[in-house]
């Protein structure tokens, strides 16, 4: 359990507040997605909502990141830079957002359609989202981090897709990235594999590709894309380990 910060009941309550704002920001982004909008406009809507909620956009300035949201399109897996790129009908748009409130961070993401999308894209979004819930079934006291990842991997691969290996979920609390790492595949024998205990707060975030799991980083040093150019999707929530079922801290509506 080295380095893992167990949260008190009071701290978890503050994380609920941060999570509610973060979930709201994700909903704002989802609702804003439309043909002709730029990724910068999505980012602006997220930023305005977080600030209006008296929170701080966690991503802004983090490691030099220029926006309040990562807005990634089609083959872009994560860390899409907000800018002049225009979203078009048929695109799938992954939005990752974070908000800091009262010293605690909420972190969540989702992939959403712009207009009519292909059947393959619809299936990818559905499988990616459901894989989170498959993993969450094992986010309980006594299980290990590997049990979450193994469930995600099994579900994703049963549908013929690939789980991205190079980027993983993580602990979250005062900092956006805390111990432990939470890979989306079976890590037994490969990485540290702590047991889950009450009071742990983690971000589980499957990233899934239609093709191979290999990725590369664009010249902007941020945006991660599938190496084969295949579609990718991302789904994430911050969750709390309890003495019963896990609690999602970043869920505004079931459709998120």
Residue 189: the pLDDT is: 81
Exposure class string for 46-81: b at 16+ Cβ within 10 A, else e: bbebbeebebbbbbbeeeebebbbbbbbbbbbbbbb
Residue 192: the pLDDT is: 83
Q: Choose among 83, 42, 33, 68: nearest CA to 220.
A: 83
Residue 256: the pLDDT is: 74
pLDDT digits (tens, 9 = 90+) for 17-28: 999 999 999 999
Q: Which residues are CB-neighbours of 254 under 8 A, at least 6 positions away? A: none
Q: pLDDT-derived band of residue 255, with 50, 70 and 90 as boundaries? A: low
Average pLDDT over residues 1-9: 87
Q: What are the phi and psi torsion angles at 173 (to 5°)?
A: 180, -115
* Helix count and strand count (H, E) for the chain: 4, 15
The percentage of residues in the chain with a pLDDT greater than 70, rounded to a whole number, is 98
Q: Choose among 221, 242, 191, 252: nearest CA to 65.
A: 221
Q: pLDDT-derived band of residue 221, with 50, 70 and 90 as boundaries? A: very high
Q: Does 180 sit behind a cis peptide bond, omega within 30 degrees of 0 on the bond before it?
A: yes
Residue 214: the pLDDT is: 98
pLDDT score of 254 more than 60: no
Average pLDDT over residues 160-177: 98
What is the Cα–Cα distance from 143 to 136, expressed in whole angstroms?
11
Q: pLDDT-derived band of residue 253, with 50, 70 and 90 as boundaries? A: low
Say yes or no: domain 9-248 is CATH 3.90.230.10. Answer: yes
Query: What are the boundaries of each domain within the chain?
Result: 9-248
pTM of the model: 0.97
pLDDT score of 113 more than 80: yes
What is the Cα–Cα distance from 44 to 51, expressed in whole angstroms?
11
* Whether the Cβ atoms of residue 183 and residue 165 lie closer than 8 Å to each other: yes
pLDDT score of 87 more than 80: yes
Residue 1: the pLDDT is: 46
Structure tokens at 169: 């979920």
Mean pLDDT over each residue of the chain, to the nearest integer: 96
The percentage of residues in the chain with a pLDDT greater than 90, rounded to a whole number, is 95
Q: Which residues are CB-neighbours of 18 under 8 A, at least 6 positions away? A: 55, 99, 100, 101, 102, 104, 105, 106, 249
pLDDT score of 104 more than 90: yes
Q: Which residues are CB-neighbours of 229 under 8 A, at least 6 positions away? A: 75, 211
Region of 90 (left: φ > 0; alpha: ψ -120 to 50; beta: rest) is left
């Amino acid at each position: 359990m080295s380095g893992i910060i167990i949260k008190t009941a009071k701290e978890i309550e503050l994380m609920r507040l941060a999570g509610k704002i973060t979930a709201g920001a994700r909903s704002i982004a989802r609702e804003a997605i439309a043909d002709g909008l730029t990724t910068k406009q999505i980012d602006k809507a997220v930023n305005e909502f977080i600030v209006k909620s008296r929170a701080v956009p966690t991503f802004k300035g983090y490691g030099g990141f220029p926006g309040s949201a990562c807005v990634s399109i089609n083959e872009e897996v994560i860390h899409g830079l907000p800018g002049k790129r225009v979203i078009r009908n048929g695109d799938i748009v992954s939005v990752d957002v974070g908000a800091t409130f009262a010293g605690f961070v909420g972190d969540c993401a989702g992939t959403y359609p712009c207009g009519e999308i292909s059947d393959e894209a619809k299936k990818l979004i559905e499988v990616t989202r459901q894989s989170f819930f498959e993993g969450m079934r094992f986010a309980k006291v006594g299980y290990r981090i590997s049990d979450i990842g193994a469930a995600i991997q099994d579900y994703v691969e049963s549908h013929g897709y690939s789980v991205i290996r190079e980027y993983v979920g993580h602990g979250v609390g005062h900092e956006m990235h805390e111990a432990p790492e939470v890979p989306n595949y079976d890590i037994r024998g490969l990485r540290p594999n702590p047991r889950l205990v009450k009071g742990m707060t983690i971000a589980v975030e499957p990233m899934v590709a239609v093709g191979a799991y290999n990725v590369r980083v664009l010249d902007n040093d941020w945006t991660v894309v599938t190496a084969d150019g295949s579609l990718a999707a991302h789904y994430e929530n911050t969750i709390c380990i309890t003495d019963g079922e896990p609690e999602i801290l970043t869920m505004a509506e079931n459709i998120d």
